[in-house]
Amino acid sequence: MGARCRTRCTCSGGTPPVGSSPPRCPSRCVSVLGGGRRFLKEYPFEEGYFEQQAREFLAALELPLILLGGINRLDTVEGALAEGFSFVAMARALLREPDLVGRWEQGRRDAGLCIHCNRCMPSIYSGTRCVELRATPA
Ligand SMILES: Cc1cc2nc3c(=O)[nH]c(=O)nc-3n(C[C@H](O)[C@H](O)[C@H](O)COP(=O)(O)O)c2cc1C
Ligand code: SF4
């Protein structure tokens, strides 16, 4: 999974002021990005980013398959189920908004608010959560 640090710490490529020590990363992305050096390639987010590859499995296998990866919209879910996937799995979209599927069930069709920043990843060590929730009051 790609990771993007949006702070000005050194692991995001930010340049510390002359004569100062590198600023501490407030989002602790160093643990994701690897001690100040990027080792994960970045990819632009694309809705349903595994869909194309998953279709190849769907065509080749006679097994119930779950589509996973970047599902944030109801039309993606509907398309996947219509195409033959048995289920979809959603991770970050539901970490950001646990009630998203419930809203869809009630007839709303709004897309998830997750911005795919991946800053939830380090939170697995201290209680997995969407760190954006703190920044964005409901
Ligand atoms: C905070 C966080 C923790 C995760 N932990 C695991 C894990 O323990 N095992 C695993 O196989 N995938 C884990 N994943 C990956 C998700 O299960 C999922 O495959 C991935 O996030 C892509 O789906 P999404 O685009 O809907 O988020 C984790 C993802 C997140 C964001
Ligand atoms: S921190 Fe929140 S907004 Fe960012 S990827 Fe994780 S769930 Fe989505």
Instruction: Please work out whether the CB of residue 29 comes within 6 Å of at least one atom of ligand 2.
Output: no
* CA-proximal residue: ligand 2, atom 2 (nearest): 130
Per residue, the 3-state secondary structure of 49-106, as one string, reads CCHHHHHHHHHHCCCCCEEECCCCCHHHHHHHHHHCCCEEECCHHHHHCCCHHHHHHC
Query: What CA–CA distance (Å, rounded) separates 10 from 16?
Result: 7
| Nearest ligand, CA 134 | 2
Q: What's the pLDDT band for 38 if we cut at 50, 70, 90?
A: low
pLDDT at 97 over 90: yes
Query: Phi/psi at 89 (nearest 5 deg)?
Result: -120, 140
pTM recorded for the entire structure: 0.77
Query: What CA–CA distance (Å, rounded) separates 38 from 41?
Result: 8
Torsion sign across C-alpha atoms 121, 23, 4, 74: positive
Cα of 13 vs centre of ligand 1, distance in Å, is 25
Q: What is the pLDDT of residue 134?
A: 76
Q: What is the pLDDT of residue 53?
A: 98
pLDDT tens for 49-95 read 999 999 999 999 999 999 999 999 999 999 999 999 999 999 999 99
* CA-proximal residue: ligand 1, atom 4 (nearest): 121
Domain boundaries, the chain: 1-39, 51-135
Single out the residue of 22, 21, 131, 117 nearest to residue 13, CA to CA: 22
Q: What is the pLDDT of residue 37?
A: 58
Average pLDDT, the chain: 80
Q: What is the pLDDT of residue 17?
A: 36
Counting atoms of ligand 2 from 1, which one is nearest the CA of 113?
3
Query: What CA–CA distance (Å, rounded) separates 9 from 27?
Result: 9
Structure tokens at 2: 């790609």
